[in-house]
Structure 1
Amino acid sequence: MLEKKDTALERAVLIGVITKDQNEEKSKEYLDELEFLTFTAGGYAVKRFTQKMEMPNPKTFIGTGKMEDVRQYIEENDIGTAIFDDELSAAQERNISKILGVKVLDRTNLILDIFAQRAQTSYARTQVELAQCEYLLPRLRGMWTHLERQKGGIGMRGPGETEIETDRRIVRDKISLLKARIKTIDKQMAVQRGNRGKMVRVALVGYTNVGKSTLMNVISKSEVFAENKLFATLDTTVRKVVIQNLPFLLSDTVGFIRKLPTQLVDSFKSTLDEVREADLLLHVVDISHPNFEEHIESVNKILGEIKSGDKPTIMVFNKIDAYEAEPFDDTDLVAERTEAHYSLEEWKSTWMSKVGNNALFISALNKQNLEDFKKRVYTEVREIHVTRFPYNHFLYPDYNYDDME
């Protein structure tokens, strides 16, 4: 995915498996994402290793022979980090570290590290620290023997630097303290949300790096940080937006991802209150991504977990300017035309047609079809607003709510 090597980045190898539940194509997709995660964290994926097996080895995740291949490559190419695509158990992490002699991270640790970098507010930092401590607790045993040579870099930010010499009791005390702190802040945030009155709330949700923050900036004319990296936005941002004299609150939430660490889902449930309490969800999708359908499934799964799966939702297919269908050679009698060859119009006639009015196709970056987007959002917000404040409709019967010119 990276076009050229950046010598300033930390050199790493990526390791994944091909199993009956995760075929070769799926494994490649996950490793592509792991490479982007590595780049986001400040690393460079020099090489990938994959192995076909019934299930991951309970002791070393991959087999003995493949592990020796990885060890030799690391030794011969001056690699400092090995990153595994699935969460490793404490025992697996210890065993692999002894064999490879370098820093060993898994997907969860990598995501936690990115969150540690991205957290800006004290609340987000507290949530990340809690998630890191809960991840660290079962891995304390034996950590010091191989962490002495792992100074700084990916996976070593946040409490990882300050807690590695502590014992389980101290970490448990820290977890209790962080939970109490989050509980206190949650109460304060609940009061803040209550003080907003009954104004209609709209929340942007979606996979990470689909353009939610860019859309937020365009619609609310604010300056929310947006970058082509995973989890560019971590702290929830709420802005008051007015379309045709109709005000509502728009919130930009943390992006979701496949294999999202359990610790983060638990720690950030309070942040996702903005989603739970929203009247309308704008599910933003990067339609230019080859796996956008799976991204939709991942987001819907997490929305279900936080009891928000049945909320009124508009599907916003973003980045239409970047969408390109793969060319298809219709003279090749063997070739099979697949979804990868669909044009946007063909996509619209698939399952998307069932979404009907609730599917919009835009480019937030190039501001394509934004007027249609505003009109559709306005219609939905107005309907909620009129239901909530019926007297407004009676006070201003001559006001043309549908005039969007």
Structure 2
Amino acid sequence: MFDWLKRLGAGRGVERKLLAWHAPGRPVWSSRDAGVFAREGYARNAIAYRCVRLIAEAAASAPLQVGPAAHPFARLLARPNPEQTGVELLESFYGHLQVSGNAFLEAAMIDGDAPSELYVLRPDRMSVIPGADGWPVGWEHRVGASVRRFERDPVSGDAPILHLKLFHPSDDWYGLSPMEAAAYSIDIHNAGGAWNKALIDNAARPSGALVFTGAGGADRMSEEQFQRLKQELESAHVGAENAGRPLLLEGGLEWRPMSLSPADMDFIEARHAAARDIALAFGVPPMLLGIPGDNTYSNYREANLAFWRHTALPLAMKAARGLEAWLGDRWRGAGPAAISVDMEAVPALAIEREALWSRIAGADFLTEGEKRRLAGIEEPERTQ
């Protein structure tokens, strides 16, 4: 669609002088509230909180390689802004992606030159501005009454915003959060915690019944007697600090405790099942979270390796490809930059490397040079 614009732009510095480009239309806000996911899921559920932290910290700890090594992009990723290191920026970026399904990076530029700083923007403040063809042509950042608009260059296609999102089968502009997929399980887990809290607040035991049998078989108290007894129970026998305090009953009152049935006690297993579902939605083996009843992996090391292979590394690779396509060729004279994940620097993959080296070392039919290439080791330079 924009081929003729690009051909026109091939002339030196004339494209922005000759073209009058209309401002993009209205932003489309996500139908899901990222703030709710952050409050109810991340802030109030220990399983979801730990899953997000585990994924974000692991993916951010996988070093990103920039080739060539002296490329300006490497320095930008190492220190993206005055307040954050590269690891801190990526950890925040990955965390937003897990909580809301969307993550946004802003590239700050001076006079339209190469990017000088990178900043993570909160997804709940961002909205996509679709063009006539449905593809995003801009983004809007709103904080209170302050609104900033970021527009994609219609000629070059360069954008000041990187929007990374998780796959959503029924939304064109926003990703699907693991927090949303696990929403019912998070509600069950939170409700179980609230039930336990209420039980502790009520003397850490099931409630019972005070049965009144008055003189002459009377089965009702006066309103004054009822209110006085209710007030005494609430002040002297309710709450964790009053647990175990004996009841002092007057004539005609009898305490009948009520125990939990097996069906009532099943909420404990339901809470563990909800925790496993939450971990499943995030791609974290329950064994890494200390959830009982999970025997999927024979040991912790296998579970950790599966987590890295199926969750942390794919996320880091996705971000590496997105950064490369977004800013890889923005520096004039430096050439395009290639970004990849340095697998050799990930300690969790050491067991795989050891197995690979053992297989290569035992292959007697390979030459020394072939073994080095299979192991990913460059051939040493030959001296003249």
If asked which structure has higher relative contact order (CA below 8 Å, sep 6+), I would say 2
* Category of TM-score, reference length = shorter chain: under 0.3
Which has the larger Rg? 2
Q: TM-score, normalised by structure 1?
A: 0.21
TM-score, normalised with respect to structure 2: 0.22
